[in-house]
Amino acid sequence: MAGSITATLIERLASRTEFPDGTPVDLEGLVTTLPSGFGKVLSFTVEGKRIRTDDTTDFTGHSPAEIQPNTKVLVQGTETGGFLSAARIVFQ
């Protein structure tokens, strides 16, 4: 049939949001849940990856209060027990 492709192999790829514990990570994407928490101590997801911030997290470009669904951010941090512990959040 014209315009079709027949697959001979389908390979499952690892999610782009799964990292070994202790791995430094730069994750860019859209915030996908409303944040919970207060001030700089927040929990939310970016492209489905759970993110945690704390009092030492550097927010570049905007305040933590401006993190809302569909906000584009770059999260820089370290994978820690299934969460990305954010050292820096850059609004884009």
Is pLDDT at 15 greater than 70 in this prediction?
A: no
Q: Domain boundaries in the chain?
A: 24-91
Q: Which amino acid does the sequence have at 3?
A: G
In the CATH hierarchy, which fold is given to the domain comprising 24-91? Answer: OB fold (Dihydrolipoamide Acetyltransferase, E2P) (2.40.50)
- What pLDDT is recorded for position 3? 82
Q: State pTM to two decimals.
A: 0.81
- What pLDDT is recorded for position 74? 96
- What pLDDT is recorded for position 29? 94
What span, in angstroms and rounded, lies between the C-alpha atoms of 92 and 83? 22
Q: What is the pLDDT of residues 21-73, one digit of tens each?
A: 999 999 999 999 999 999 999 999 999 999 999 999 999 989 999 999 999 99
Q: Which amino acid does the sequence have at 61?
A: G
